[in-house]
A and B are shown apart, each in its own frame.
Chain A
Amino acid sequence: MSELCEALEALDRPRIEALFQRALATDGPLQVIERLIVPSLKQVGDGWHDGRVALSQVYMSSRICEDMIRRVLPARAPGHGGQARMAIVVLNDYHMLGKRIVYSVLRASGFDLFDYERMDVAEIVDRAEADRLDILLVSVLMLPSALKVPELRSALEARGVHVRIAVGGAPFLFDTNLWREVGADAVGYSASDAVGIVQQWMEEAK
Chain B
Amino acid sequence: MTTSLQRVLTTLGHQEPDRTPLFLFTTMHGARELGLSIQEYFSRAEHVVEGQMRLLEKYRSDCLYPFFYASLELEAFGGDTLFIENGPPNAGRPIIHRSEDIDQLEPPSVAKAVCLFRVLETIGQLKARVGDTVPIIGVVMSPFSLPVMQMGFDHYIELIYEQPARFSRLMAINEAFCVEWANAQLAAGATAICFFDPVSSTTNIPRDLYLKTGQPSAMRTLKRINGPTATHLASGRGLGIVADIAATGTAVLGVSALEDLALLKDAARNKLTLLGSLNGVEMRRWTADEAEAEVKRAIAKAGRGGGFILADNHGEIPWQVPDDVLLAIRDAVDRWGRYPLNWIA
Residues of A near any B CB (own CB < 8 A): 11, 48, 51, 53-57, 59-60, 92-97, 100, 142-145, 147, 170-171, 173-175, 178
* A51 vs chain B, min Cβ distance (A): 5
Q: List 7 A-B contacts (CB under 8 A).
A: A51-B239, A55-B205, A56-B204, A143-B87, A174-B257, A174-B282, A175-B282
Interface segment among B98-106, B153-161, B302-310: the answer is B153-161
Docked complex Cα distance between A171 and B319 (Å): 14
B90 to chain A: which residues have CB within 8 Å? 93-94, 142
Task: Please determine whether A54 and B202 come into contact, CB atoms closer than 8 angstroms.
Answer: yes
- Which 5 A-B pairs rank lowest in CB-CB distance, beginning with the nearest? A144-B87, A174-B281, A97-B153, A175-B281, A54-B206
Docked complex Cα distance between A110 and B86 (Å): 38
B157 to chain A: which residues have CB within 8 Å? 55-56, 59-60, 97
Interface SS of A by simple majority: helix
Task: Please determine whether B281 and A11 come into contact, CB atoms closer than 8 angstroms.
Answer: no
Q: Is B237 an interface residue (CB 8 A)?
A: yes
B235 to chain A: which residues have CB within 8 Å? 170, 174
Task: Please determine whether A59 and B279 come into contact, CB atoms closer than 8 angstroms.
Answer: no
Assess A144 versus B319: contact at CB under 8 Å? Given A55-B204, A56-B160, A175-B282. yes
Q: Is B114 an interface residue (CB 8 A)?
A: no
Docked complex Cα distance between A127 and B274 (Å): 47
* A97 vs chain B, min Cβ distance (A): 4
Interface SS of B by simple majority: loop
* B147 vs chain A, min Cβ distance (A): 12
B91 to chain A: which residues have CB within 8 Å? 94
Docked complex Cα distance between A48 and B237 (Å): 11
Task: Please determine whether B86 and A144 come into contact, CB atoms closer than 8 angstroms.
Answer: yes
Interface size class of B (residues with CB under 8 A): 35 or more
B209 to chain A: which residues have CB within 8 Å? 54, 56
Task: Please determine whether A54 and B203 come into contact, CB atoms closer than 8 angstroms.
Answer: yes
Q: Is B109 an interface residue (CB 8 A)?
A: no
Q: Is B21 an interface residue (CB 8 A)?
A: no
A94 to chain B: which residues have CB within 8 Å? 82, 90-93
* B279 vs chain A, min Cβ distance (A): 6
Task: Please determine whether A51 and B318 come into contact, CB atoms closer than 8 angstroms.
Answer: no
Q: Is B254 an interface residue (CB 8 A)?
A: no
* B82 vs chain A, min Cβ distance (A): 7
Assess A57 versus B206: contact at CB under 8 Å? Given A96-B154, A144-B319. yes
Assess A51 versus B203: contact at CB under 8 Å? Given A56-B209, A143-B281. yes
Task: Please determine whether B237 and A51 come into contact, CB atoms closer than 8 angstroms.
Answer: yes
Task: Please determine whether B82 and A11 come into contact, CB atoms closer than 8 angstroms.
Answer: no
Q: Is B34 an interface residue (CB 8 A)?
A: no
Task: Please determine whether B282 and A143 come into contact, CB atoms closer than 8 angstroms.
Answer: no
Task: Please determine whether B160 and A147 come into contact, CB atoms closer than 8 angstroms.
Answer: no
B203 in complex: contacting residue of A55, A100, A147, A171, CB < 8 Å: A55
A53 to chain B: which residues have CB within 8 Å? 206
Task: Please determine whether B281 and A178 come into contact, CB atoms closer than 8 angstroms.
Answer: yes
Assess A173 versus B82: contact at CB under 8 Å? Given A51-B237, A96-B154, A142-B87. no
**Most central of B88, B153, B160, B239 by chain A CB within 10 Å:** B153
Docked complex Cα distance between A144 and B206 (Å): 29
* B38 vs chain A, min Cβ distance (A): 11
Assess A144 versus B154: contact at CB under 8 Å? Given A51-B258, A173-B258. no
B281 in complex: contacting residue of A55, A56, A171, CB < 8 Å: A171
Known: A145-B87, A147-B86. 14 other contacts (CB 8 A): A48-B203, A51-B203, A54-B209, A55-B204, A56-B161, A59-B157, A93-B90, A94-B92, A97-B157, A142-B88, A143-B281, A144-B84, A174-B235, A175-B285
Q: Is B107 an interface residue (CB 8 A)?
A: no
